[in-house]
Amino acid sequence: MLDRQTNLEHDPRKEQVVAKRPTRIITYAWGENYLDELLCLTLPALLAPGNLPSVAALVPCELIILTEERFFATVNSHPSILRVKQFCPVRLIGLDDLITMKDKYGMALTHALHRGFSDLGQSMTETWQIFLNADFILADGSLRNLLRHLASGKRLVASPSYCVDSTAVVAELHRRVDEKTSALCISPRELAALALKYRHNTIRGKTVNERFFNIRHMDQFYWLVDNSTLLGHQMPIAIVGMWPQRYVAEVNSYWDYGLIQDFCPETEVCVLGDSDEFLMIELRAKEVAEDQIASSWPETMQIAERMMVFLTRYQREFARHPLTLHAGELTAAVDGAREKLRVYVDEVLSYLPSFLPSHIHHPQWDYHLPGFIEARHKFLSGRLGSLTETTEAPASLPTTDRIWWELDGIRKTFSRKQSEIQEIRKHLLELVHREITDDAEKQRGTIKQEFIKELATIQNQYIRAGVDNTVTRFSGIDPSMGSDSLDAAGQLRTNDLEALVSRYEEKFSQINLVKSSRENALNQILTRIAALCDQRLRRLEIDYESKRQKLENAYQQMLQRRVMSAATPYVRLYHGPSAVSPLKGGLILRGVKKIYQRMFGKLPRVTQLSCYWAPLRHFVRVVDAAAARGARNVLVVGSGDDFIDRTADHLPGLRAVVSMSDLKTGNLVRAFDRPPQFDLCICELEFAELATFSTLVGLLRPAMSKRGTIVGFHLNSEMRPFTLNGARIDGISRSDDVVRCYFAGSPASARVIAKFRDAASSATGSFVVFGLRLLKIAPQALRANQAEAAIAPIDSTSPPPVCTSVTIEVVIDGIA
């Protein structure tokens, strides 16, 4: 919608924007190589007169650079940044938390671009955003022309980038940078000439009219008209300018999968497809995508199938916009070449389903998001430290971040308080132990000193009595003394020492008694201290658990991987009864029926198949019963070409075919923007899949209508023994489902079907040849049917002694 106050008056000498809107130019880079490209080439190209200088002269603007915080000083001091600051402010924003996992580049890019303007909140709808990747080199005048479209009311403006071999072109770009102004001024046609000369292999491998090699996954198609002109279609085309219609607080998809639609849901994208108006080249190392190069050019259907890995409805819409890269004037050959390229692209797109996945909850996004969130929050927990514990989460943060912030805070609070209690407990216990030990040692020390003092007194008495100290101490005998003196001294010594020892033995005994009594008392204190600390820990844990559980459940629900695989199933869709070749599907079956009945008569009819192959009778009867209940839309799990798969081709509704491997990704309903409801699903099962049929039913259930029928069929041609007990059958369904199993077949009938398949696969184009080969099989089919009729009745639901087929019927939420 055109803003009444926004207008661009274009004058050859002067440009002016009335009612100017604040503008942000947002770019990003992480890693030294990308940052070097940003500072030395991308920003110099931004400084070309027709880019930033023109924008800054017309509207108030600022340059936002998202990079690693360790590079902030380097960025701020770089000459190109100093030059940019002469035109507008420069603000650096950290993105360290977004780049913690190398395999999450798309996640990091999406969150980085959103972070570049999400702080505006609701006012983002009043601001113009210009996006510039770190490896995009702009031609002079590109941003001036972009601003004109934003000013005219365009909400979304896109323009292609053309990948070039950076090894070959970087030196040429560096040579063109003006050392005085730090500007890289290069006109659109000069830059186009470089882009054409140094085309990257990812462009050469997608050039339809060269086909020297191809790139496995094609999201772009090109046609080289001549050495100065390249035509193209890209899915998607890079968004270079946006004026949001609505505020989006949280991202839910990759940037280029369709997130842009959430900001501008009612906007037609304005594509600047002519390189004269807007041109940017994308620097790309030569070895990028070398692992995807293949020599043989794929069929258009193969190209479409491979697109399903990434393609969304949003991306496909860009395919209708023609792109032109030219270094000179366009020639008359352009129109014819453009038509040929358009026809080729249309043919590829014709093989895509009419329903394509939505960008919202795309399997690629849902598969990778939990790991990205967990790694990011782990990084932030270490970076923020106690901040999550001491402060509340900023209101501007997304819901997931606010829940994590609170959860991280209470975890850290619990861990801190738990450590404090344990440390206090340890310290108190040490003090009590020390009190027991120190008090006893102190008393022992006092008694020891008293003992030494009294012993010294006795010793002095001996000395005064003339007894040698040394002899007295060791032998108690002095040879110079008489025997009477010796006896008197020895008696004195003995009496004194005995009295001294007895007295101090009693003191030590009393100390031990006191120590024991104190130890008992202090041990009780120890027990009480430990119990009190344990009680505090338990209360802390209870309080923590009561707060944690709710937050943890909410957080884990956000981290829960919603899909088993990142792959998007390829689903072939068409409507109404199918017209198939004579050797496939319904026409074969009708032809077989006529030949058989003319030769052997008409057996009791269940349907067109049951009259000649007994192992199929239950399967066909279940399909017919579903048709009789009004089934129209049919989903086939298999190749879609087998005669089992074509049993319901006569039904008038939507028909879809998906491979078993694609079904097992768990993303069937995500292959559609608005998934249809199928009334009948046919699954031909391998032997091992019988045991996991309940899982397959669970994967199919969201795509089935109420009272829709899922029928699984296994042909036991190798005659392996198998059983399906009641417990296993009950596990297939929910309480409202109806489940039945049927068994049929014999070794003879199994051989007949094997021969039929061989005949059908070897008769490559002639119904007559196939009919002649079938005539040889028909008598064996008759004998096999007759033999089986004698073994088990047609409605048998229990295994016969030998069976070659099992049919499992599941009616969703209703009685058959």
Find the helix or strand (DSSP H, E) in which 25 lies. strand 23-28
- How many CB atoms neighbour CB 205 within 10 A? 23
279 neighbors 138 (Cβ within 8 angstroms)? yes
| CA 55/CA 558 separation, integer angstroms | 41
pLDDT at 788 over 60: no
pLDDT of residue 732: 57
| Angle separating helix axes 363-384 and 105-118, nearest 10 degrees | 70
Residue-level pLDDT at 721: 62
Residue 528 has pLDDT above 80, yes or no: yes
CA-based nearest residue to 530, from 687, 685, 425: 425
Tens-place pLDDT, residues 676-704 = 899 999 999 988 888 888 889 989 999 99
**Could you tell me what percent of the chain has a pLDDT over 90?**
48
Residue type, 187: S
434 has pLDDT over 50: yes
**Model confidence band, residue 224 (pLDDT cutoffs 50, 70, 90):** very high
Residue 621 has pLDDT above 50, yes or no: yes
Token output for 68? 């690693």
- Reported confidence tier of residue 448, pLDDT bands at 50, 70, 90: confident
Phi–psi pair at 573, nearest 5 degrees: -130, 140
Sheet holding 805-811, edge to edge: 572-575, 654-658, 634-637, 678-684, 704-715, 805-811, 738-744
Query: Could you give the CA distance from residue 230 to residue 649 in angstroms, rounded to a whole number?
Result: 44
The number of beta carbons lying within 10 Å of the beta carbon of residue 513 is 10
Q: Model confidence over 648-665: pLDDT tens digits?
A: 888 888 889 999 999 998
Residue 97 makes CB contacts below 8 A (sequence gap 6+) with 376, 379, 380, 383
Asked if pLDDT for residue 237 goes beyond 90, the answer is: yes
Tokens coding 645: 């798969």
What stretch of H or E contains 756? helix 747-762
In angstroms, the CA 300 to CA 347 distance is 7
- The sheet carrying 270-271 orders its strands as 90-94, 61-67, 23-28, 128-132, 239-242, 156-158, 270-271
Q: Check pLDDT > 90 for residue 10.
A: no
Contact yes or no for 627/651 (Cβ under 8 A): yes
Q: Which residue has the higher pLDDT, 669 or 169?
A: 169
pLDDT at 415 over 70: yes
Q: Is the per-residue pLDDT at 608 higher than 50?
A: no
* C-alpha closest to that of 197 among 152, 173, 165: 165
Phi/psi region, residue 439 (left: phi>0; alpha: psi -120 to 50; beta: rest), is alpha
| 536 band by pLDDT with thresholds 50, 70 and 90 | confident
**Average pLDDT score, the chain:** 82
Residue 136 backbone dihedrals phi, psi, to 5 degrees: -95, 130
Q: Is the peptide bond before 370 cis (omega within 30 degrees of 0)?
A: no
Contact 133, 254 (CB under 8 A): no
Q: What angle do CA 368, 373, 375 make, to 5 degrees?
A: 100
pLDDT per residue over 305-330, tens digit each? 889 888 999 999 999 999 999 999 99
Contact 610, 742 (CB under 8 A): no
pLDDT at 529: 81
Residue that wins the pLDDT comparison between 480 and 635: 635
Cα radius of gyration rounded to whole Å, the chain = 43
Residue 742 in tokens: 């049927």
Compute the distance between CA of residue 341 and CA of residue 320 in angstroms, rounded to an integer: 11
- CB-based burial of residue 532 (10 Å sphere; 0-12 exposed, 13-18 middle, 19+ buried)? middle
User: 81-90, 205-214, 600-609 — which is least confidently predicted?
Assistant: 600-609
Is residue 373 pLDDT above 60, yes or no? yes
Q: Are 791 and 800 in contact (CB under 8 A)?
A: yes
pLDDT at 493 over 80: no
Measure the CA–CA gap between 209 and 225, rounded to whole angstroms.
9
- pLDDT tens digits for range 257-298: 999 999 999 899 999 999 999 999 999 999 998 888 988 899
Q: Of 128, 78, 77, 118, which Cα lies nearest the Cα of 95?
A: 118
Handedness of CA 304, 305, 310, 314 (dihedral sign): positive
Confidence of residue 745 (pLDDT cuts 50, 70, 90): low
Contact 811, 733 (CB under 8 A): no
Query: DSSP letter at 184?
Result: B
CA 526 to chain CA centroid, Å, is 53
CA 435/CA 441 separation, integer angstroms: 10
DSSP three-state, residue 799: coil
Domain edges within the chain = 19-350, 417-557, 572-811
Give Cα separations from 491 to 117, 189, 457, 477 (angstroms): 105, 128, 16, 12
Q: Cα separation of 78 and 326, whole Å?
A: 34
Give the whole-angstrom CA distance, residue 416 versus residue 412.
6
Q: How far apart are CA 384 and CA 633, in angstroms?
A: 55
- With bands split at pLDDT 50, 70 and 90, how would you rate the model's confidence at 722? low
Judged by average pLDDT, the poorest of 358-362, 408-412, 777-781 is 777-781
- The DSSP 8-state label assigned to residue 253 in this structure reads S
Mean pLDDT for 357-361 is: 87
What are the backbone angles phi and psi of residue 26, rounded to the nearest 5°? -115, 125
Q: How far is it, in rounded angstroms, from Cα 466 to Cα 362?
A: 110
Nearest to 61 by CA among 29, 42, 87, 28: 87
The confidence band for 481, taking pLDDT boundaries of 50, 70 and 90, is very low
User: Please, are residues 225 and 337 in contact by the beta-carbon 8 Å criterion?
Assistant: yes
Give the strand pairing for 136-138 and 156-158.
unpaired
- The pairs formed by 435-444 with CB atoms below 8 angstroms and a separation of 24 or more are 435/522, 436/515, 436/518, 436/519, 436/522, 439/515, 439/518, 440/511, 440/515, 440/518, 443/511, 443/514, 443/515, 444/508, 444/511
Bond before 236 cis per omega within 30 degrees: yes
pLDDT at 588 over 70: no
Looking at residue 102, its pLDDT comes to 86
Pick the more confident residue, 502 or 600.
502
Closest residue by Cα to residue 253 from 312, 324, 323, 322: 312
Q: Which 8-state DSSP code applies to residue 177?
A: B
Centre a 10 Å sphere on the Cβ of residue 504 and count the other Cβ atoms it contains: 16
pLDDT tens digits, residue range 380-402?
A: 999 999 999 999 998 878 888 99
Provide the token pair at 719: 């005659």
First-last CA distance in the chain:
53
| Cα 350-353-358 angle, rounded to 5 deg | 125
More confident of the two residues 297 and 499: 297
